Structure 1
Amino acid sequence: MNGRLILTKTSDLVKNANNDIMTENLKIPILANSYTDLSEFDFSFKGIQIMDVKTSFFANYLDSLEGNDEKWDYHEMFEEVVLQNIEEHEKYYAIVKTEPFENFNYREILAVYKLLLIIFPSDLQIQYVLEFNGYDLGMSISSWQRTYTGEYPGKILYLPDAPVSEINEFVEKVFVRMNEKGAIGYIIENYITSYEASHRHFQYLNLCFCLETIVDGRTELTYRMKRNVAILCGTSSFNSQLIFDNITKIYNLRSKIVHGDTYNEQKIEDYLPFLISIVSRTIIELLIHDIYDITAIGRLNKRITTLGFGDRHKISDDWKKFDFNIFTMTTSNWIRLQ
């Protein structure tokens, strides 16, 4: 991917900026906490590329944004503020638009980060954001403290022998389905927010909110939610039953948390790996089936009433099997909670 970078000519950038084509400030998020080379993932269908910030390609990209104003040296500023604070063994990645001043939309940039975190529950985070305030104001750099959960399936993003081509096929298929105004947007935002929670029980509750969204109506909500998730994510009848039983335990603990009852705090730590993985898999399956708003949720509920455990492939004609993360597949389908 790095070798296929296409840059707009500087003269065109200046012209576009002067013609007010860009409707918001150009921003570049910098991702930390990945062992995997994120530049292998292909978002070129949206004119987006992930770049290793230590490469000459990224240096050239920053140089291309300077325009004709010689008072700015963006890469020198980036090197002083960011690169000097990165250890030699650490990997950092920038999400950039290959045509940065043409219809820039930061929500699409963030969607790349969100998709990576959905596929790979991990400590992947945005640690820096570079913001370009036009040719007169230059570049500013925001930063956040680097954090780690220290708990599986947290830690560094790692892709063990999964086919990158399968992931690239998936992200192109579902990217336009990440409707931030629909039910799927609510689920994704709660999932992302769970990583920012100040306490583990808040993370736990945020993830439960995600599962509750996939049920419409007002009756038998918990039972229907458990059944829906079990059918959506279970790879077989056995695994669906296991998921159903695990979510029963998840919600018994949830009830104690929200009602102020005494509960074993260690259970939160024990249950979170499964809960994170099952929400990850639920979002993936909803995106595959194109379930994005409350109307689609209603169709999903109606369809699932006619299906049984192990029938996830029958939910829609658009379904295709995408596993690609052995950690979430194993944890969501084969772990029995105690």
Structure 2
Amino acid sequence: MSEDHSPVPGPVPLVVQYLYIHEQGEEFYYPSVRAGATAADVAVRYLECALAQAATIHLRNVPCDLVLATNIGAGRVSRSASKLLKRLESLGVEILPTAYEHRPRGDDSTYISSRYVLDAILTATKGQPEDRKLWLTDLDCVWVDPQKTWAASPAAHQIGCVVIPYPADWDTVGFGEDGRTRNAIGAMAGEIGIPNDAPSWVGGELLAGTPGTLRTLVAACESLDSQLAHDGRFLPTEEQILTLAGALGEIEFQDLSHVAQRVQTGHRHRATLTKDPLSLGLWHLPAEKGLSLRRTAQEINRGRPARLRTDLDDPVRMGRRFNVAGTGLTRRIRDDTWIATQRARTFLEAHAPRR
């Protein structure tokens, strides 16, 4: 992209979402999903997020390709999930079969699929031209201004990411024995041989780079996993192993926080408010899975994209739609009522007599 965000010659960007579908009976825990306890419920909730994100690109008709890396197979998902998959494909999203080979060691079920991004990288980069930029995003992201984001593309030898400004001694993970804070990751880097006090924390919601650099990232993570395993240690989440790779200089990360950020919404969180979120190109909205992202997905799934299309032309309207800005008590009451209605409807459908 040029400085005015207009396209430059070369392959169009490839946006890669990724979703691991749990087997029935597999243990897992995602604190912010706001879905039922079954694998089918979680699959539907995340597919709703994928649909909402894809729509924020597709409805703008910007030049790019969209894929969803997933282990979804025939007969493994519910009727609701199948309908969402078909709607995703109608938006031009290619379904990319991807096995989960980089599972974390240990038996903790919290965020167990977080390392699936490493497998998504390997399948999505296969056969791609080396000058193409891939943008791997968490499902609960929306594109406020795709071309503005792509204009901030990192250099060919770098991986673009969102650096999270956690305090150095803040427990960012909440489970496991190693690498739970920036200080702890720095200490691990020192033990390996390259001291790095409180290294920058690499968020997992956005990774951008060329195919070769992204594959190098996966190889670096695999090598570090092997080194740690030799000492009986492991880092369960992708953010921990990415942060360690950056601390050791294995990968050069480029902070893209000027165009993409994790934005906490609602009135219950205690995070620092995002400054001027309407100026960003990408929002990561972890608290919106069961609310604005689901509501947007339902509009698309019902074939009613007109209101979203209008909102995409105005960052202020987007801010209101996704609870990023312009919300107040009246909106809060409306949203709480909508959530209660959805839960009641789900309960009634689950307990309705079968014909």
**TM-score category, normalised to shorter length:** under 0.3
- TM-score, with normalisation over the residues of structure 1? 0.26
- TM-score, with normalisation over the residues of structure 2? 0.25
Per residue, is there more strand in 1 or in 2?
2
Per residue, is there more helix in 1 or in 2?
1
Structure number with larger C-alpha Rg: 1
